[in-house]
Amino acid sequence: MNIMTQYQTLLYYCYSPIEDAEKFASDHLEFCKSLDLVGRIIVADEGLNGTVSGTVESCKSYMDAIYADGRFNKTEFKIDDVDEPSFIKMHCRYKAEIVHSGLRDPKEIDPNRQTGVHLEPKDFLAMKDQEDVVVLDVRSNYEHNVGHFKNAVTLDIDNFREFPEKIKELEQYKGKKILTYCTGGIKCEKASALLLKEGFEDVYQLHGGIIKYGKEAGGEDFEGQCYVFDNRVTVDVNSVNPSVVSTCFNCGKQTTKMINCANPTCNEHFTQCDECGWEMDGCCSPACKENPNKREYDGTGYYVKVPQPVNIDKISKRKHKNFPPKVSAED
């Protein structure tokens, strides 16, 4: 750890049953606030999924408390040193799942019972280019558009709950070794479990996800940046052969900057260079730029979330998409 580091950001998850999880979420929120942490934690009957940020001392106290709870002592924290806290507020909410997949029945999918073989980063690196291996990105479009493993298969999905309906498009890869990966590992727990349930026999997952791979394998062959679910938006993970793969939505110039559209009704997540950002006032289209409710663009493209009307057109467009999986082109 850098001796000048004042703050850290912790990324973690743990599949472990929680009795009266709704009350646990309420109590856990107060505990986090007592440590002056900020972040976002999802609590469900099946476990915890969180990213929290605060001083080094507060983060250590939080990790100590999690480890001291017998339900969560197998939790693995991914720790980043940061210049400032990665969130503005602290949220801890009870939900049906710790990652929204629609796979809520533990009798059908239970990562504690059956999931893909965990591969440590260096084992993933050694295995990913073998002829009988397919590397599968189980993340959403906005995530893999800004960064992905070289030659990975990506799926055209806007959120993880669309993953189950894409399984049939992966039938061509049955008989091969499927190496799944995501940001921190949580999506792969259920994605690999579902692949096994659907008849894929040789299924693996990158343990600790892209973040741990960056720390332990130098991020080799991960092209672009890794999307993260906090104010940093994206982070560098490749110190071996880094590259930029994302382009500006408006002009096509290479850029790693990802923002939300300044039109709150749209709120599209997309990449936009600084020049187009100022020219478009942080909007993805001229129509959004003219929206009377447009938020003020300050150059970051990050906005504190406030409730917005449901965008029916956007939901409908996503619901009726049916595109085949894409293979990331080698640069």
- The helix, strand and coil proportions of the chain, stated in percent and rounded to the nearest 5, come to 30, 20, 50
Six-digit token string for 115:
């999931």
H/E stretch holding 32 reads helix 21-34
Amino acid at position 291, single letter: N
How does strand 153-154 pair with strand 326-327? antiparallel
Residue among 14, 59, 92, 182 flagged as catalytic? 182
Amino acid at position 164, single letter: P
Q: Which of 111, 108, 106, 109 has its CA nearest to residue 45? A: 106
Whole-angstrom distance, CA of residue 7 vs CA of residue 238: 22
Residue pair 41/32 in contact (Cβ under 8 Å)? The answer is yes
Give the position of tokens 């990913």. 128
Using CA of residue 249, residue 186, residue 197, residue 177, what is the dihedral sign?
positive
261 is catalytic: no
The residues annotated as belonging to the active site are 182
